[in-house]
Structures are given as C-alpha cells and as structure tokens.
Amino acid sequence: MKVAIIGATGAVGVEFMQVLERRKFPITELTLWASKRSAGTTLPFKGKDLTVRELTKDSFKGMDLALFSAGSKISKDFREACVAAKCLMVDNSSAFRMEEGVPLVVPEINPTEAAKALVKNGGKGVIANPNCTTIIALMALAPLHRVVPIKRLVAATYQAASGAGHAAMVELEEGTRAYLEGKPFPPKVLPHPYAFNLFPHNSPFDPATGYCEEEVKLLKESRKILSDQQIRVTGTCVRVPVLRTHAEALNVEFSDSGMSVERAYEILKKAVGVTVLEDRAKNRWAMPVDVAGHDNVYVGRIRKDQSQDNTFDVWVVGDQLLKGAALNAVQCAEVALLGKLAPNANP
C-alpha cells in the first residue's frame, strides 16, 4: 500500500506513523503532508527520517490510503482531490461523520460498514473516524447493547489535553511549570488556565440548549454507529489537566432486566479491544497513567444504580490519541483495504 498522512506533524499524525509501524501495516511508500509552515520538518519512520511536504491537490496521485488529521476545513478542501485519485480517505475530523452515505466506523462494532466506503463498491471513498469520546464509550457499551439493548445513557467525561492537539498538551506542561514557579501564564490555546484547573469542554456551545458540540456528537454519533435512533443520550464534557487519555463515567439504562453486574463483567472480559482492570479491595480502577500508550479501552467499577431499575454505572478509560483517533483510523483502513482487523499490538 502507498499511504499518505495528512497533518503529519500534529499529535495524531505522529501517532499514525507509530501505529502503522507497530501493526505492521503493509506499506511500500509513506508520504507525509502538512501546511507550508511545517514543510521541511523530518519525522522518523522505521529507522529512516521522512521529510514533510506541503499538501497540494496532487498529493494523492498513486496513493492507496490517506489518513487525515488536519481539521475539518482541510478535509473538506481536499476530499474531492483525494477521492478522484481513487485513494481511500479515512478522516479524523468531524467534517463528514453525519453525512448520509459516509460510514462512521468503529471496527470492533460495525466493521462491515468500512468496505462500503470504497468507490468500487459504490461508496463515496471516505470513512469517517468517530469522535474520541464516542469511540471510548461505545467500546464498552456496544458489547452490552448487543445482549440487552440500551435505552438511555448519561455520560460525564474527563477529557485530556491531547483532545485539543499537541499545542494544548504543551500549554498544559508550560502552564503547570509556571504555576509551580509562581509565574503568570496567560493561556493561548485553551480559553482558561489549564494547570490545576478544569472547565467545560471548549467546543462551541449552543445558546438555545446549553450543550456544547462535543456533547451533541456523543448523541448523534452513538445512534449512527449502533444503528439505533431510539437511544437517548445526554452528557457533560469537561477538560481536565491530564496530558493524554480520556476517562468517562457512564450511567447506562437498559431496556429490560436482562443485564446484571455479573453478566456485564462476563461480556466485557470477552470483548475485543477491551480490558477489565480493577481491585475492589484497594478501591483501584483504571487511571490515565495505566492506559496512556495502550490500544485497548479499559473498563471497571460496574455497579447497579440504586436510584432506578435496569441501570448500571460503568467507568471507562481510553487513550484519546490511540483508540480515540489514530488507532481506530488505521483499523478502519485494515478492514476496508485488507479485509481484516489485526489484533492490538499493545493492548
């Protein structure tokens, strides 16, 4: 395969390269593309330094796969050129997720959707990578939903700086250092001081509903991925001062009494891409320091909601840069182009 990475110098772009190498994706040629400002930068891949070039409409000629993580505008501007070159586009932005005919894919959940993107199959040549929060939640919820349908989800998310990109991660590090040294540090990337602080997710808010874009994505994308428009979803998304790896507290109401704590654990221990981590005696559950750099989504602390029937609480932690972004995108390409989902290299 000839592969192009768009947005190669960003946090997800760097992860793309590492994931491709770890999973031994069959690459005969890898090209790196970014803005004019980043052109000339070199990045390592399989022991060699590759030079980043400025993205143009001709960048996709002869390519089999393009992994995009450069923002919605770039994805929209270069979609036509990519598809016209018969290059499969796997897009990490929100540009096409809700577009009819564009599959929104988490390979462990709806793998058959991936191949539908291929132009030779009548598809639009684009696979949309879901929002990181949605992916991490559904990795734990989809296996349960297959057994007993979920009726309602209430989510509280604790989202790391990685979700806002490399610049936000740097700002958290520098802001923390300044705070400890007693120095002023006005934020530039995020709207509020990040060190030793937390605040509502910084995506645009809808003044009519009070929900931010991130919270709305969780509702709309969950319904599309699970092919179930009846699921009710509400959430509160919060930025926390963690470098990478999102955590989510999920309150899940099932449609009937067929689910139990014991059954949920049994299902999730067998689920592909999921790891159960906990030690109840020590009040020990998965934390970002456990999960950062790991492919699997970690779950635990499953307990019955004492306030109403058929409802359970689940704690979920996943690396936003991996399963929430780069890993999921590469898995989509594996399913669509290679017809298989490879095992996780670092579960």
Mean pLDDT by 10 residues, the chain (347 residues): 97 97 97 96 96 97 98 98 98 97 98 95 96 98 98 98 95 97 96 95 93 95 97 97 98 98 98 97 96 98 98 98 98 97 93
Q: Could you give the CA distance from residue 179 to residue 181 in angstroms, rounded to a whole number?
A: 5
Q: For residue 191, what are the contacts with CB-CB under 8 A and spacing of at least 6? A: 199, 202
Residues marked active site are found at: 132, 246
Other C-beta atoms lying within 10 Å of the C-beta of residue 278: 17
Nearest to 24 by CA among 346, 345, 248: 345
- In this predicted structure, what is the pLDDT of residue 276? 98
How far is Cα 105 from Cα 322, in angstroms, rounded to an integer?
A: 15
208's tokens: 């009519």
Separation in Å, CA 153 to CA 49, 142, 167, 209, 340: 46, 12, 32, 18, 31
**Sequence-ordered list of residues with C-beta below 8 angstroms from that of 98, at least 6 positions apart, any chain:** 104, 220, 221, 224
Confidence (pLDDT) at 305 = 98
The rounded distance, in Å, linking the Cα atoms of 203 and 218 is: 13
- pTM value is 0.96
Distance CA 294, CA 300 (A): 16
Question: How many residues make up the chain in this entry?
Answer: 347
Cα–Cα distance, 70 to 88 (Å, whole number): 16
Quote the Cα angle for 40-46-50, to 5°: 10
Domains by residue range for the chain, with CATH: 2-129+324-338 (3.40.50.720), 133-320 (3.30.360.10)
